[in-house]
């Protein structure tokens, strides 16, 4: 048995705060502690109480930093680590010009393994302890990511993309091979350690109706797997989808008619939606995923968070690397706040930090395991330094409340504010000189 006592200021959410004054939605402990035992949280709360149960467990004192559950990224592409910040185009040209050539290299298992390792390290450097990740079309790319995550005992949701048309041959499979490869990966990895499989048709444009049927068959055969894809990100994409699926009522219907919607379905972007689509997303309990830095970078549009929430929909939030421009969920919240401001919508700090922790855990159906500091949860913990930069420290001198402090972290923080990241109780944040290599 291995035990560690982490001491610091604790913040964890019990549910989504209804507003900035909803203090019952969270627990904040000024002198708190988390007792980690064999990768799980054995106890958390007031330091005095928790320490009394800790015996002679070694103590890591993070005061005055904040301990929160590790961040969760609900939509990200690991084969795009080397095309982040590629200049000059909107979605379809960006895919053809940058994404597909980069993803073609992932047929090389050695390259895939190296990139998967770098990807996992970058996530934890930025305070992210779980991601729902797209791999390339190659089964070996998914193997590589699952293996690297397993080496770190990191909770991961991932799948090989299914794509059989409208892309270069080097990144295409077939309906049959996509089914067989996904099936084999599910058998090898789903439920193994902290891994979950996501059935991953890239989007309507790159999957034939025959392949969508195969994706639907996989979802029916494996109802405990996630489904992840993209929806209505860009107007040209929507028009092309309508041409390719003339019988579909709308874009969402391509997925809906193939049995791909449900509470385990993650729909990246979901920006330009028709009323019928919003109704169907709500009825099926599917989850749109807001990708702020990506939507701004590709000029895709403004995500209608309030409009969807008003229809009873639970949205995720994500970086969407590599169209997104930062691995940081703090930068993501910063840009998300601004996108909502442009629509007279508000993202207060309590809701923001709930969103990237317990909120995304609920979207993934995993709030019983991650996204909280409650006893019994997996010990994924991020340690935040609210004074990480001179500008933040100067601003913090005037922060008079927890909400104000959190808002400054949300708007000014990045990976420098991540003092440490624990994955299943193990410290994973690299020093700056290690990152640079």
Is the CB of residue 186 less than 8 Å from the CB of residue 159? Answer: no
Q: Count residues near Zn ion (CB under 5 A).
A: 2
Nearer to Zn ion by Cβ, of 229 and 372: the residue is: 229
Least Å from the CB of residue 306 to Zn ion: 23
Stretch that binds Zn ion, among 216-224, 303-311, 312-320, 367-375 (CB under 5 A): 312-320
Does residue 120 sit in helix, strand or coil?
Answer: helix
Helix/strand/coil for 299:
coil
HEC readout, 359-374: HHHHHCCCCCCCCCCC
Nearer to Zn ion, 328 or 421 (CB): 328
Tell me, residue by residue from 242 to 271, as one string, x for binding to Zn ion by CB under 5 A and - for no binding. Answer: --------------------------x---
Residues recorded for the chain: 437
Q: What angle do CA 110, 116, 117 make, to 5 degrees?
A: 95
Nearer of residues 79 and 127 to Zn ion, judged by Cβ = 79
Contact of 194 with 154, CB cutoff 8 Å: yes
Match 């397993």 to its residue by tokens. Answer: 150
Q: Could you tell me the smallest distance in angstroms from the CB atom of residue 265 to Zn ion?
A: 14
CB of 281 to Zn ion, least distance (A): 17
The reply to whether 320 sits near Zn ion by the rule CB under 5 A is yes
Cβ distance to Zn ion smaller for residue 133 or 350: 133
Q: Which helix (H) or strand (E) holds 404?
A: helix 402-412
Tell whether residue 173 is a contact of Zn ion (CB under 5 A): no
State the binding string over 264-303 for Zn ion (x if CB under 5 A, else -).
Answer: ----x-----------------------------------
For residue 230, the minimal CB distance to Zn ion (Å) is 6
CB nearer Zn ion, residue 356 or residue 423: 356
In the complex, least distance from residue 308 CB atom to Zn ion, rounded to whole angstroms: 18
Interface stretch with Zn ion, choices 39-47, 250-258, 313-321, 422-430 (CB under 5 A): 313-321
Instruction: Please tell me whether residue 305 binds Zn ion under the rule CB under 5 A.
Output: no
Q: Report the 10 Å Cβ neighbour count for 55.
A: 9
Residue 257 zone, left/alpha/beta (φ > 0; ψ -120 to 50; rest): alpha
Which of residues 277 and 320 has its CB atom nearest to Zn ion in the complex?
320
- Kind and range of the H or E run holding 174: none
Q: Give the pair of three-digit tokens for residue 277.
A: 């689509």
How many degrees, rounded to 5, is the angle at CA 196 between CA 134 and CA 120? 55
Contact window for Zn ion (CB under 5 A) among 85-93, 112-120, 163-171, 317-325: 317-325
List the one residue out of 7, 17, 5 whose CA is nearest residue 357.
17
> By the criterion CB under 5 A, which residues form the site for Zn ion?
268, 320
């Amino acid at each position: 048995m291995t035990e560690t006592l982490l001491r610091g200021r604790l913040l964890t959410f019990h549910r989504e705060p209804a507003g900035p004054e909803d203090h019952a939605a969270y627990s904040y402990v000024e002198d708190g502690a988390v007792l980690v035992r064999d990768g799980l949280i054995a106890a958390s709360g007031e330091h005095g109480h928790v320490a009394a149960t800790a015996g002679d467990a070694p103590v890591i004192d993070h005061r005055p930093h904040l301990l929160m559950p590790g961040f969760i990224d609900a939509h990200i592409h690991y084969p795009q680590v080397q095309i982040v910040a590629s200049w000059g185009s909107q979605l379809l040209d960006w895919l053809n010009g940058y994404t597909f050539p980069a993803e073609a290299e992932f047929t090389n298992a050695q390259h895939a393994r190296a990139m998967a390792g770098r990807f996992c390290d970058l996530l934890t450097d930025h305070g992210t302890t779980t991601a729902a990740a797209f791999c390339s079309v190659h089964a070996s790319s998914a193997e590589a990511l699952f293996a690297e995550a397993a080496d770190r005992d990191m909770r991961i949701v991932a799948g090989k993309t299914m794509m059989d048309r409208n892309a270069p041959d080097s990144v295409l499979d077939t309906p049959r091979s996509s089914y067989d490869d996904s099936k084999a990966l599910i058998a090898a990895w789903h439920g193994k350690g902290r891994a979950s499989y996501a059935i991953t048709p890239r989007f309507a444009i790159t999957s034939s109706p025959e392949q969508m049927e195969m994706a639907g068959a996989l979802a029916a055969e494996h109802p405990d797997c996630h489904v992840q894809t993209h929806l209505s990100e860009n107007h040209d994409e929507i028009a092309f989808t309508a041409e390719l699926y003339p019988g579909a009522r709308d874009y969402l219907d391509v997925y809906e008619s193939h049995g791909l919607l449900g509470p385990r379905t993650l729909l990246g972007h979901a920006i330009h939606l028709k009323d019928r689509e919003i109704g169907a997303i709500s009825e099926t309990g599917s989850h749109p995923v807001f990708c702020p830095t990506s939507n701004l970078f590709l000029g895709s549009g403004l995500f209608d968070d309030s409009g969807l929430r008003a229809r009873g929909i639970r949205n995720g939030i994500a970086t969407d690397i590599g169209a997104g421009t930062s691995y940081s969920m703090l930068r993501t919240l910063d840009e998300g706040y601004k996108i909502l401001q442009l629509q007279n919508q508000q993202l207060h700090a309590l809701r923001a930090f709930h969103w990237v922790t317990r909120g995304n855990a609920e979207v993934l159906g995993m709030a019983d395991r991650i996204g909280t500091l409650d006893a019994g949860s997996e010990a994924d913990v991020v340690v935040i330094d609210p004074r990480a930069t001179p500008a933040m420290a100067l601003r913090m001198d005037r922060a008079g409340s927890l909400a104000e402090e959190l808002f400054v972290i949300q708007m000014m923080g990045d990976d420098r504010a991540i003092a440490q990241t624990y994955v299943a109780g193990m410290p994973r944040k690299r020093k700056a000189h290690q990152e640079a290599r």
